[in-house]
Structure 1
Amino acid sequence: MDAVELASLLCSRLCHDLLSPIGALNNGVELLADETDPDMRERCMELLADSARASANKLKFFRLAFGAAGGFGEDIDTREAKSAIEGLYGPEKRIELGWMVAGDRLPKSAVKLLLNLAMLAGDALVRGGTLDIGAEQREGEVEVVIRAEGPRILLDPSLRAALTGAGTGTIEARAAGAWLAHRLASDAGGSVRLSDAAEPVLLIGATLPTA
């Protein structure tokens, strides 16, 4: 897959995820225009606020995970990554987040890798659960570990294949983050590892050389 195809897939994924909250905003504005009952108007305003917040949180996350956020420096403040993940999963309160990232800054590529892996693991928790995110920078490399545990974990085989680079067919838009994570690791000479699908806990590990 070339850079243009990957960019197209990332844009498709972004549009898909924003369709729901922005559609809710549009519906809420239409309802508000026709509603005269004060209580219902207040409820409409609450729904509009929730949808606007969800849209902003998704944009913040995707800007950091897919885009050129973080400025022109080589490192990104890890607090930005934590805030982006909390915005994506925190408001729903379905997923309990654990943050075990050592250090205040990580290389930009490592932050993007961490965010994309965290998104894959979080989306796999279809009935909620716990999502633990860890990273440590050592001399010459960054080690990333993501752990997801819940009543039901579903990581589609196509996502597994894209994440490990084993896929040979067409990559779908929903697998764009997995393919980007694979490319970030492999292009730097690193690798992504996955626990077996039969395991009750999903573990994703990645090593990203930084030298």
Structure 2
Amino acid sequence: MSVSQTHLASLLCSRLCHDLLSPVGAMNNGLELLAEETDPEMRRRCLDLLSDSARATAQKLKYYRLAFGAAGGFDDAVDVTEAKTLVQGLMGDKASNDLQWSVDAATLPKAAVKLLLNLALIGQEALVRGGTLAVAAEERAGQVEIAVSATGPKIAMDAAILDMLAGKGGDLLENLTARTAAAYLAHAIALEGEGAIQVAASAEQLVLGATVNAAA
């Protein structure tokens, strides 16, 4: 592993730790409150807090394990149902969030699924006030085409993330941060798979399109 790859791995680990800090901290607080609380209703609320935090932690670990890590086994293809379940967990159960899933294939190449999950993660994070995340993918002519759009009352997207996705901004590795690491990983997956990523953003919508070789 080269220094640049090591740097990327460390940033992805930093991203994972940052995102898990909140739910794990909530579990710790819940346990402390539970140890001191005697009121039955308050104890029930503590248990609800623990349950919600444990579920959020498990969902994020499963998501990052496939999006960033080596999950999916040794097969070249990944069950699309697993990817859909992960994105549903990422969206949560808030009434303000809606997932539109348009992937008919039963399986997709592992590289395509990783690319899809990283783009979906970026799209979901742009929906700071909730909204609709639409995910579509299909395999044709030897390529997997992926489209992710995030539509809501307010889209928050760092220009550095968009530049990283599109491969702009000079020496990308020199400009890497934990915040842009997922975008760089998506760019690298597409590039390695002889594909590319296109981005379009406005105040109310973010559209991410990508292609990757089906044999990647």
Structure 2 length-normalised TM: 0.94
1:33 to 28, 32, 35: 35
Specify whether residues 43 and 106 from structure 1 end up closer, same or farther in structure 2 by C-alpha distance, changes over 3 A only.
Answer: same
CA distance in 2, matches of 1:182, 1:208: 10
SS in 1 for 2:180: helix
* Letter matched to residue 173 of structure 1: A
* Letter matched to residue 79 of structure 2: D
* Letter matched to residue 206 of structure 1: A
Range that drifts further, 169-178 or 60-69: 169-178
Once the two structures are superposed, what CA deviation does each residue of 1:30-78 show, in whole Å capped at 9, x if it has no partner? Answer: 1100111111111100110000000001111111111111110000000
Displacement of 1:9: 0.9
* Letter matched to residue 38 of structure 1: P
SS in 2 for 1:166: coil
Query: Who is 2:25 aligned against?
Result: 23
Query: Who is 2:210 aligned against?
Result: 206
Displacement of 1:209: 1.4
Residues 1:96 and 2:101 aligned together: no
Unaligned stretches of 5+ in structure 2? none
CA distance in 1, matches of 2:4, 2:82: 29
Conserved? CA contact 1:90–1:96, under 8 Å: no
Query: Who is 1:66 aligned against?
Result: 68
SS in 1 for 2:149: strand
Specify whether residues 95 and 206 from structure 1 end up closer, same or farther in structure 2 by C-alpha distance, changes over 3 A only.
Answer: same
Residues 1:193 and 2:198 aligned together: yes
Specify whether residues 29 and 200 from structure 1 end up closer, same or farther in structure 2 by C-alpha distance, changes over 3 A only.
Answer: closer
Conserved? CA contact 1:28–1:47, under 8 Å: yes
Unaligned stretches of 5+ in structure 1? none
* Letter matched to residue 196 of structure 2: S
Aligned-residue identity in percent: 54
CA distance in 1, matches of 2:205, 2:25: 34
Conserved? CA contact 2:112–2:212, under 8 Å: yes
Q: Alignment length, in residue pairs?
A: 210
